[in-house]
């Protein structure tokens, strides 16, 4: 099969690309500047450079995996203009170009009542994918070797200082998924003749954890003695908002605080479907389980 991946150079997109290469399939990277090591590349940018139907048809693309998201679009309006509208145009163009299956990578932050711009934007992107009969996968916090995203940011916090701030309060707990588990599920969604469910699948281990528990496991695995200090979430959020107003480069965003504090209180996680797709049990973050290379 030939699979187009938006965000193919990112943390998750690059892992999906390697998995599909390893399975003998061809990958076409959608990126601002097509990667030099790709035999197939299409110029793409959510802010306006959307591939035309002919770009997909001329390359005989079978599947589109949409991982790309612009975190620089920080307000609701900016994110709607770039991420939501750009994704909707991409989906429609892919369908018009003969792409048979669309797999949209969403997030567990996407749910009705989400407080974060990221979560609300992803929820709207899920709706756009649904309009073209696409599949949306909602990963939890993604961890693994050389983790990126939120877990990567939390690991940097734990390694940086003996005193680790822990954002307190909140309405929900957090669910995680190992990156190799997630990539395997994405691979199944790409390659399977039939999906056990259409539309939306939450991809995470059903065991929920608090932020403090996650930080403690990170410290334990790194064999680091750390002191965990509770910080009111409003204080952390206001501090980051002030720094963002000064246009300072930050590795952690105020919007991420809202995603951590106000997680989905009642996510539907179908472990039977996930393990059917993966072909084995999911790893647990809080244990010593690990996947072989």
User: Is 283 part of any domain?
Assistant: no
Question: pLDDT category, 39, cuts 50, 70, 90?
Answer: low
Which residues are paired to 163 by β-bridges? 227
| Strands, sheet with 26-31, edge to edge from the N-terminal-most edge strand | 41-43, 26-31, 2-6, 63-66, 101-105, 135-139, 200-203
pLDDT of 201 reads 95
User: Is 287 part of any domain?
Assistant: no
Which CATH number does the domain housing residue 222 bear?
Answer: 3.40.50.720
What is the average pLDDT across 207-219?
93
Structure confidence by residue, pLDDT tens digits, 48-107: 899 999 999 999 999 999 999 999 888 999 999 999 999 999 999 999 999 999 999 999
User: Is 230 part of any domain?
Assistant: yes
Closest CA to 8 of 24, 26, 202, 23: 26
Show the domain range for 165. 2-278
User: Is 106 part of any domain?
Assistant: yes
Question: pLDDT category, 293, cuts 50, 70, 90?
Answer: very low
pLDDT of 113 reads 93
Number of domain units in the chain: 1
CA distance 266 to 131: 25
User: Is 243 part of any domain?
Assistant: yes
User: Is 185 part of any domain?
Assistant: yes
pLDDT of 175 reads 96
Q: Where are the alpha helices (DSSP H) in 23-167?
A: 53-58, 76-79, 85-96, 117-131, 149-160
Which residues are paired to 69 by β-bridges? none
User: Is 290 part of any domain?
Assistant: no
User: Is 289 part of any domain?
Assistant: no
pTM: 0.92
Residue 44 has pLDDT above 50, yes or no: yes
């Amino acid at each position: 099969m030939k699979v187009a991946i938006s965000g193919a150079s990112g943390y998750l997109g690059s892992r999906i690309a390697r998995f599909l290469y390893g399975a003998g399939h061809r990958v076409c990277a959608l990126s601002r500047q097509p990667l030099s090591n790709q035999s197939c590349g299409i110029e793409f940018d959510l802010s306006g450079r959307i591939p035309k139907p002919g770009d997909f048809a001329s390359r005989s693309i079978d599947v589109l995996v949409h991982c790309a998201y612009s975190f620089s679009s920080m307000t609701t309006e900016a994110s709607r203009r770039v991420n939501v509208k750009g994704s909707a145009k991409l989906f429609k163009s892919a369908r018009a170009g003969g792409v048979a299956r669309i797999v949209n990578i969403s997030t567990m932050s996407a749910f009705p009542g989400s407080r974060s711009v990221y979560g609300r934007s992803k929820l709207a992107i899920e709706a756009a994918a649904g309009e073209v009969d696409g599949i949306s996968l909602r990963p939890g916090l993604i961890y693994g070797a050389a983790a990126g995203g939120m877990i990567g940011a939390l690991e940097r916090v734990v390694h940086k200082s003996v005193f680790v701030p822990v954002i307190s309060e909140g309405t929900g707990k957090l669910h995680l998924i190992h990156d190799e588990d997630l990539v395997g599920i994405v691979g199944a969604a790409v390659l399977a003749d039939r999906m056990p469910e259409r539309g939306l699948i939450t991809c995470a281990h059903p065991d929920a954890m608090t932020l403090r528990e996650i930080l403690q496991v990170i410290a334990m695995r790194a064999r680091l003695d750390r002191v965990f200090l509770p910080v009111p979430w409003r204080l952390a959020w206001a501090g980051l908002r002030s720094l963002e107003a000064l246009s300072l480069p930050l590795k952690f965003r105020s919007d991420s605080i809202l995603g951590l504090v106000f997680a989905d209180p009642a996510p539907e996680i179908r472990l039977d479907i996930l393990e059917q797709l993966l072909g084995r049990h999911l790893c647990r973050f809080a244990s010593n389980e690990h996947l072989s290379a």
